[in-house]
Amino acid sequence: MRLLNTSTELLEEFIDTSVPPYAILSHTWGDGEVSLKDMTTDPAYKSKLGYTKISMTCQLAREDGLQYAWIDTCCIDKSSSAELSEAINSMYQWYKKAEKCYAYLFDLDSTPTWRKRLPQCRWFSRGWTLQELIAPMDVWFYDGKWNLVFRKGEDSHLLKRITGIHQDVLKGSRSMLSMSIAQRMSWASRRVTTRAEDEAYCLLGIFDVNMPMLYGEGRKAFFRLQEEIIRISPDLSIFAWTSKKPPGDDEQAPVACSMFASATDDFAESGTFVAVNAQSTNDFSISNQGIKVHTRLALQKVPRQQGYRYVMKVCKTIDGRVFGIRLRKCGVSQLVREDPWVLIGEENTFPSMQSRIMYLLNRLPPAHAPNYLLESIVLGSRSRVLQIDLPPEMYINNVWPWSRWDVTDQTFFVSDDLGLDCAGFRVFGGYDFDPLRRGERSKFSFMVYVWKWSRNGDRPMTEPEFTLVPWTASDTSLKDLNEKLEQYEYNSTMLQADFETYRVRVAKNVHFPFEKRRLVSARCAFNLVNDWSKCSEPFWKMTLFVEASGDGF
């Protein structure tokens, strides 16, 4: 660490534990700043406008009994990329360990109305000064004429109103790291930096991460920052952001976008979001398929359709309201964020399904990329589909393999390997033999296995093969078969072989007897469909029917 001797104004270097007590300056850069090169090669550096900051910092430090001071303009060799990278990664700790931190507000006048003027000071709008406010135990604020105006420790309530930072964090009685990712991002959402990369680099200390500096990467730096945060934190509120909808796009089709925000201002409305319970998230990491997460998803009904949307809970408010983001299946176990303009309240969703491993796509254009519609990425991930159509008396309770099931279109799909066209799903249902006696529905459940539903080559499409099998919770053979369907890449030959192993009979219908000689039967039929919104190729729609007979019919 390079420090400025406050008596001689000469630079001295120290290593690790040998660093002496020092003062530190927080300011915004302006014209005529004095650099390290100026101090070592230009005898006239004291004539530059920025020299006053050096002189006054040294004077204040001497008055506080400190022999050394650190100022970012002259204590970093910015011609060395290695030193610059080390300094940026260390800066939060340097401010935290300083004995005194002086914040210089060049555009604040010492007048009775200074409190009204304070929020407009440039210091509160810059990205780098965020960590310089939070890291030190206390900060002494000086106006444009170097008059002491106030201290962070005495006026934390005033700083909270300006910055949105929790008052306990400002007072040092609560760890910054206990705040959610979304809240910390919101603190930076109305701040700016001169270079695009610095929007990410100035937040390394706020999120307690390190990463190399790559000036020239532009907006990619903010994506890298989010990837580094994910490596160390299971807090799903990193996804609790919303992008402003472009004007005139009210009728636009659903948009697909990256799971990551494109900038901190996407978190402008996230200041009250706290982390949801992360105990159900067993794995949360970056992989070459996207963001690998082991979690539960809720469901939201799609209006006027049979399908649902996946909703991943990502945050909650202080009063306990839970919010999530919409996701859409777009590949094998892959999901993409849908419509980044909104968060979905938990009250608009159904209970969570079982916890699953999935991959959330993060390498996509940002929300405002032109013409990047959800339909294009969904259709591009599927070669053939099988659609399931159920009557009101039935619903799908579970599917195998879930990795190839799109709950929105109610379709199973295959991509390149058309031979993987086999699937199973469990149906729950109920029938009202006497509609006037509510709550007395006759309930039933069964498994459906269907295979050979994709067209291979130029072979004419023949109807898929299938079987309907009664299901009970105690039937371990069907459970074992379903687990295999989920874990392995099954083809039709493997599935039919396991039918023999587990003694699953092939039947075109299934019957459920009830008291009073009543009987419910289920069967199915196939229709060839052309629907470009679900698949670019013709596909089979499997429709299930329920019929009843007995007394009263």
CATH number of the domain encompassing residue 502 = 2.60.270
Least confidently predicted of 101-115, 146-160, 244-258? 244-258
Say if residue 339 is in the same domain as residue 435. no
* 439 and 308 within one domain: no
Q: Is residue 254 part of a domain?
A: yes
> Phi and psi of 104, rounded to 5°?
-100, 115
Say if residues 69 and 61 touch (Cβ distance below 8 Å).
yes
Residue 508 has pLDDT above 70, yes or no: yes
**pLDDT computed for residue 251 by the predictor:** 59
Residues 519 and 539 in one domain: yes
- The Cβ of residue 357 has, within 10 Å, a number of other Cβ atoms equal to 13
The verdict on 252 and 365 lying in the same domain is: yes
Is 356 among the domain residues? yes
Between CA 309 and CA 409 the distance in angstroms is: 9
At 337, which amino acid appears? R
User: Which pLDDT band, with edges at 50, 70 and 90, does 107 fall under?
Assistant: very high
**Does residue 361 sit in the same domain as residue 407?**
no
Residue 526 lies in a domain: yes
Task: Give residue 437's pLDDT.
Answer: 60
Residue 363 pLDDT grade (very low, low, confident, very high; cuts 50, 70, 90):
confident
Q: At 370, is the pLDDT very low, low, confident or very high (cuts 50, 70, 90)? A: low
How high does pLDDT run on average in the chain? 91
Question: What does each C-alpha distance from 511 to 295, 301, 448, 521, 523 come to in angstroms?
Answer: 36, 30, 13, 4, 9
Strand order in the sheet with 518-529: 405-406, 411-414, 384-389, 539-549, 518-529, 509-514
Q: Which residues contact 199 (CB under 8 A, 6 or more apart)?
A: 127, 188, 192, 193, 221, 222, 263, 264
pLDDT at residue 467, rounded to an integer: 96
Asked whether residue 462 carries a pLDDT value surpassing 80, the answer given is yes
Please state, for a pLDDT cut of 70, what percent of the chain lies above it.
Answer: 94
Which range among 94-108, 313-327, 514-528 shows the weakest confidence by mean pLDDT?
514-528
**Domain end: 377, 394, 426, which one?**
377
- Give the CA radius of gyration of the chain: 31
Residue ranges of alpha helices (H) inside 64-109 are: 81-97
Q: Do residue 364 and residue 408 come from a single domain?
A: no
Does 207 map to a domain?
A: no
Mapped onto helix, strand or coil, the DSSP state of residue 405 is strand
Q: Are residues 471 and 545 in the same domain?
A: yes
The verdict on 253 and 350 lying in the same domain is yes
Q: What's the confidence (pLDDT) of residue 474? A: 81
Do β-strands 11-13 and 405-406 pair in parallel, antiparallel, or remain unpaired? unpaired
Angle between helices 492-501 and 476-487 (to 10 degrees): 160
Q: Do residues 484 and 490 lie in contact, with contact meaning Cβ atoms separated by under 8 Å? A: yes
In a domain, 445, yes or no: yes
- In the numeric block, the tokens 């093969």 are attached to 465
Q: How many domains does the chain have?
A: 3
* pLDDT band of 275, cuts 50, 70, 90: very high
Residue-wise pLDDT for 414-426, tens only, equals 988 888 999 999 9
Q: Decide: 149 and 105 in contact? Cβ < 8 Å.
A: yes
Any domain includes 488:
yes
CA dihedral 379, 258, 229, 359 (to 10 degrees): -10
Q: What is the pLDDT of residue 517?
A: 76
Give the pLDDT confidence score for residue 458 in this predicted structure: 55
Domain membership of residue 308 (yes or no) is yes
Q: Compute the average pLDDT of residues 139-167.
A: 96
- Encode pLDDT of 73-100 as tens digits: 999 999 999 999 999 999 999 999 999 9
Mean pLDDT lowest among 144-148, 220-224, 416-420: 416-420
Last residue of a domain, one of 174, 198, 222: 174
Question: In whole angstroms, what is the distance from residue 420 CA to residue 398 CA?
Answer: 19
CB atoms within 10 A of CB 102: 25
Q: Is the pLDDT of residue 136 over 70?
A: yes
**Domain limits at 289?**
233-377
d(CA 364, CA 30): 37
Question: Do residues 148 and 262 share a domain?
Answer: no
Write down which residue in 336, 362, 377 finishes a domain.
377
Q: Examine the domain organization and report whether 533 and 405 are in the same domain.
A: yes
Rounded to an integer, the average pLDDT of 61-65 is 98
State the pLDDT at residue 553. Answer: 42
| Residue 125 falls inside a structural domain | yes
Q: Which of 22-26, 190-194, 353-357, 492-496 has the lowest mean pLDDT?
A: 353-357
d(C-alpha 160, C-alpha 164), whole Å = 5
Q: Is the pLDDT of residue 368 over 70?
A: no
Question: Does residue 25 register a pLDDT over 80?
Answer: yes
Regarding whether 240 and 167 lie in a shared domain, the answer is no
As a whole number, mean pLDDT of residues 334-361 equals: 88
> pLDDT by residue (tens digit) across 175-197?
999 999 999 999 999 999 999 99
| Residue 11 clears pLDDT 90, i.e. is over it | yes
What does the pLDDT average to over 125-147?
Answer: 98
**Residues 300 and 207: beta-carbon distance below 8 Å:** no
Q: What is the mean pLDDT of residues 249-277?
A: 88
Q: Position 433: which residue type?
A: F
- Helix (H) or strand (E) segment spanning residue 541: strand 539-549
Same domain, 386 and 533: yes
